[in-house]
């Protein structure tokens, strides 16, 4: 029998989970119920709408909490008692096992996950907090769902913040880099649509090389840089302009903000 899965909040992350899961066949539309005061994404996906957060929890076996971090405690106070004996998957930034368990009845089974938006196209990264209280079968089922829309990594609590910064914010950094590559092509006469397509495939191909070759990114970079060639000249200019340092500093800035 299929579990009924409820989605509280239907912003970008919840939309990516639902749309990616449906596209991959890991979810069926009839097993999903959602609640959001602004139901645009629920309408786009054709998902049944609950009347309230409490109505949703009462009707579901497993609940995905995907509201903004500052709303988490407010929502959990409304539905906490109804969650007793059920599983809660939180994808809210900064809300890990300790913070969740402090405001929930002990009978609620908890798993914190840090996913990212490329789940929508089956290429997400889903970081699971090692500490959880899911039943073994529940944990495997949840991992199977997220594995269908990306890769799953299990990390200790102490590393969740940093890993989530890289995977959660990294797509935005990559879009900026991709746009810059395309702008460079346009500057030299390549039509805009072609420039975006070429730059996007270049980024996708490079990422796949890292994942599938097993080689260190530095080795793959060296393989492209012929002695005295054009690529190493470009690399030198990126280093001169602080490209690598800028990326590291961007993550440090996020860590300080959190």
**Are 113 and 15 found together in one domain?**
yes
The verdict on pTM exceeding 0.85 is yes
Alpha carbon distance 65, 148 (integer Å) = 19
Q: What angle do CA 67, 72, 73 make, to 5 degrees?
A: 165
The pLDDT mean for the chain works out to 95
Give me the CATH number covering residue 179: 1.10.3730.10
pLDDT in tens, 37-76: 998 999 999 999 999 999 999 999 999 999 999 999 999 9
**Are 10 and 118 found together in one domain?**
yes
**Are 124 and 234 found together in one domain?**
no
pLDDT at 258 (0 to 100): 58
Give me the CATH number covering residue 62: 3.40.50.720
Orientation angle between helical segments 243-257 and 157-187, nearest 10 degrees: 140
3-state DSSP call for residue 51? coil
Residue range of the domain that includes 150: 5-155
**Are 35 and 138 found together in one domain?**
yes
pLDDT in tens, 166-221: 999 999 999 999 999 999 999 999 999 999 999 999 999 999 999 999 999 999 99
| DSSP secondary structure letters along 130-166 | S-----HHHHHHHHHHHHTTEEEEEE-HHHHHHHHHH
Alpha carbon distance 205, 41 (integer Å) = 30
**Are 103 and 196 found together in one domain?**
no
pLDDT band at residue 94 using 50, 70 and 90 as cut-offs: confident
Mean pLDDT of 86-102: 94
Orientation angle between helical segments 192-213 and 217-224, nearest 10 degrees: 130
């Amino acid at each position: 029998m299929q579990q009924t899965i409820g989605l509280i909040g239907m912003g970008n992350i919840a939309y990516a989970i639902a749309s990616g899961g449906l596209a991959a066949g890991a979810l069926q539309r009839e097993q999903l119920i959602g609640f959001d005061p602004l139901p645009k994404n629920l309408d786009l996906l054709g998902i049944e709408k609950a009347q309230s957060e409490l109505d949703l929890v009462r009707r579901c076996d497993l609940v995905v909490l995907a509201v903004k971090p500052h709303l988490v405690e407010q929502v959990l106070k409304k539905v906490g008692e109804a969650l007793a004996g059920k599983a809660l998957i939180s994808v809210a930034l900064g809300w890990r096992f300790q913070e969740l368990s402090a405001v929930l009845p002990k009978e609620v089974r908890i798993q914190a996950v840090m996913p990212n938006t490329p789940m929508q196209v089956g290429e997400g990264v889903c970081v699971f907090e090692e500490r959880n209280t899911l039943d073994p079968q529940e944990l495997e089922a949840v991992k199977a769902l997220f594995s269908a829309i990306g890769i799953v990594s299990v990390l200790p609590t102490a590393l969740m913040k940093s890993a989530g910064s890289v995977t959660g914010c990294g797509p935005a950094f990559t879009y900026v880099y991709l746009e810059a590559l395309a702008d460079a092509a346009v500057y030299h006469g390549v039509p805009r649509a072609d420039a975006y397509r070429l730059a996007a495939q270049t980024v996708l191909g490079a990422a796949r090389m890292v994942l599938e070759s097993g080689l260190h990114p530095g080795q793959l970079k060296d393989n492209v840089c012929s002695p005295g060639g054009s690529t190493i000249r470009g690399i030198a200019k990126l280093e001169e302009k602080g490209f690598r340092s800028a990326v590291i500093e961007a993550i440090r800035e996020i860590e300080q903000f959190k």
